[in-house]
């Protein structure tokens, strides 16, 4: 084999190795790239100041969070056991029915950013079912992120405690 052919084969081999999908460089994705999409809630455990843990949204919460690639998000979490309104009209709930709904629901939307260095997710709430949250920022620490699961800690929830939240990628 002459020297020209050997160099050509070497160059093609090197290029082929560089383009393999298993290449570590091609697998590196930012947290923001990994988080984009829709996730369904698995669990929300609120940690009280005394260290005790409470399932604020019950054992089987319903909800989702969506992060788009342009930095916008939407979140809703609802207790699965909310009482139905006796009047069967949304604007005619009793005081107890309305209280139960407000205690068992959180919804908000706005913009988000990711800090890759400290692995935090910051949301800027434009509007919320809890009006006091509107216009504020919330920082969450991402404790684990895989292709199918997102776990984060919210150090200050609207209920005055911290929360450990687990999400599963929606299919």
The model's pLDDT over 15-45, given as tens digits with 9 standing for 90+, comes to: 444 444 444 444 689 999 999 999 999 999 9
9 SS3 class:
helix
Q: Where are the domains of the chain?
A: 29-169
**Strand extents, DSSP E, the chain:** 37-47, 53-54, 62-67, 72-78, 105-115, 120-128, 137-145, 149-154, 162-169
62 CB-contact burial (10 Å; exposed 0-12 / middle 13-18 / buried 19+): middle
Question: Both ends of the chain: CA-CA distance in Å?
Answer: 53
pLDDT score, position 1: 57
Percentage of the chain beyond pLDDT 70 is 84
169 CB-contact burial (10 Å; exposed 0-12 / middle 13-18 / buried 19+): middle
Q: Give me 33's structure tokens.
A: 């790239």
Close Cβ partners of 20 (under 8 Å, ≥ 6 residues apart): 26
Greatest mean pLDDT among 13-27, 52-66, 107-121 lies in 107-121
The class that CATH gives domain 29-169 is mainly beta
Average pLDDT value for residue range 49-75? 94
């Amino acid at each position: 084999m002459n020297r020209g052919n050997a160099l050509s084969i070497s160059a093609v081999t090197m290029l082929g190795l560089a383009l393999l999908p298993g290449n570590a460089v091609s697998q590196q994705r930012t947290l923001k790239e990994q988080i984009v999409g829709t996730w369904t809630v698995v669990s929300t455990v609120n940690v009280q100041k005394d260290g005790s843990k409470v399932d604020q949204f019950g054992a089987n919460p319903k909800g989702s969070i969506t992060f788009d690639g342009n930095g916008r998000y939407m979140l809703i979490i609802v207790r699965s056991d909310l009482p139905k309104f006796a009047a069967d009209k949304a604007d005619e709930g009793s005081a107890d029915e309305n209280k139960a709904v407000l205690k068992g629901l959180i919804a908000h939307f706005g913009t988000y950013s990711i800090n890759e260095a400290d692995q935090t997710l910051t949301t800027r709430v434009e509007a919320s079912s809890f009006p006091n949250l509107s216009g504020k920022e919330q920082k969450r620490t991402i404790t684990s992120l895989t292709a199918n699961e997102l776990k984060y800690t919210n150090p200050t929830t609207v209920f005055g405690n911290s929360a450990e939240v687990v999400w599963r990628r929606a299919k």
